[in-house]
Amino acid sequence: MKDLCVPIPNFGDEEFAELELKIGKKKIKYSFRVVSFPWDVEDGLLVSGDELEISLARIYRLKKEIEGYDKNWELIQIFNPSENADHIQVLYRKK
Amino acid sequence: MIKTIELTKVFRTDEVETTALNKVNLEISNGEFVAIMGPSGCGKSTLLNILGLLDNPTGGQLFFMDNEVSRYTERNRTNLRKSNIGFVFQSFNLIDELNVFENVELPLLYQKVSSGDRKKRVEEVLDRMKISHRKKHFPQQLSGGQQQRVAIARAVVSKPKLILADEPTGNLDSSNGEEVMNLLSELNQEGTTVIMVTHSPTDADKAHRIIQLFDGHIVTENIKQKI
């Protein structure tokens, strides 16, 4: 067994999930955050609105948000957004 | 060792055009251990295949050991690949009809290494991977961990400068996965450059640098440790 999948309820952007794993007497603590960044939003980046421009605008927004995010947290995973989602979820782990 | 300038890969069918890599700029130095992460469909394996000279980009430039190789023919790519690059795959990709010794010997046969040298080098690497006691066994007779050790032996027997690993622990349990990661780290510490695609944050922690890919773009790079 390599991974344990732990179901967690939805939690707010400003909250974080803490997991504590105990193996024998050893405790390992993890802190995770799932953050939502803007993906398909009206922010004045689009001029023509063609597919390529929309795609580049999404990546630009995502890069900017990741660059500006709290450096005490490291990016673990970017989740594929669902169709027509206006935000994209990103998983961070406390360094 | 590797440099890409606006590397692009577009897959085209009659009806659909999919951009798997979109102007990727990347530089990987000799001796680095780089992890590439990202969700399914983000272009990780396409990037690894192009860096490993298994496929050509449709745009941009790819430099491998100072040579611009993006327009190389299949034959030129093969020549460069067989003497410089070793591959490790999630599903091991061993040849079922060959035993362990013969699987590991294969890259040396392609390089036309003499029979005596081949025997010596295969035995050395099987010893190192702690699998020599299984050299007469066939892949189906081995556990997943043992098969991956054979696959790594095959990847390193020709002493490549670069190892490309696509989800190397994806089919292994934690103990065998850790062993495989330790082997890759050891090879890297001895000077081999390693580029690994992974979904596992634990495996990525072993790398010097983590590249996050999304929708064919590099969205961030996280330097964990300097080489």
Q: Is the pLDDT of residue B128 over 80?
A: yes
Q: With an 8 Å Cβ cutoff, are A77 and B173 in contact?
A: no
- Write out pLDDT tens, residues B84-117: 999 999 999 999 999 999 999 999 999 999 999 9
Rounded Cα–Cα distance for residues B172 and B90 (Å): 9
Give the mean model confidence (pLDDT) for residues B193-203.
95
ipTM of this complex: 0.82
pTM above 0.80, yes or no: yes
pLDDT at B86: 95
Mutate to test the interface with B, among A1, A2, A19, A30 (most CBs of B within 10 A): A2
**Taking Cα atoms as reference points, which of B110, B138, B111, B108 lies closest to residue B123?**
B108
pLDDT at B209: 96
Residues of chain A with pLDDT under 50: none
Give the mean model confidence (pLDDT) for residues B128-146.
95
Q: With an 8 Å Cβ cutoff, are B219 and A78 in contact?
A: yes
Q: What kind and span of H or E run contains A73?
A: strand A73-78
Show which of residues 20-79 on chain A sit within 8 Å of chain B, judged by CB atoms.
55, 58-59, 62-63, 66-67, 74-79
Give the mean model confidence (pLDDT) for residues B221-225.
85
Rounded Cα–Cα distance for residues B110 and B115 (Å): 12
Rounded Cα–Cα distance for residues A74 and A3 (Å): 19
Set of chain A residues whose Cβ sits within 8 Å of the Cβ of B219: 59, 62-63, 66, 78
Among the residue ranges A13-22, B32-41, B81-90, B191-200, the one predicted with the least confidence is A13-22
Q: Is the pLDDT of residue B150 over 90?
A: yes
Rounded Cα–Cα distance for residues A3 and A16 (Å): 20
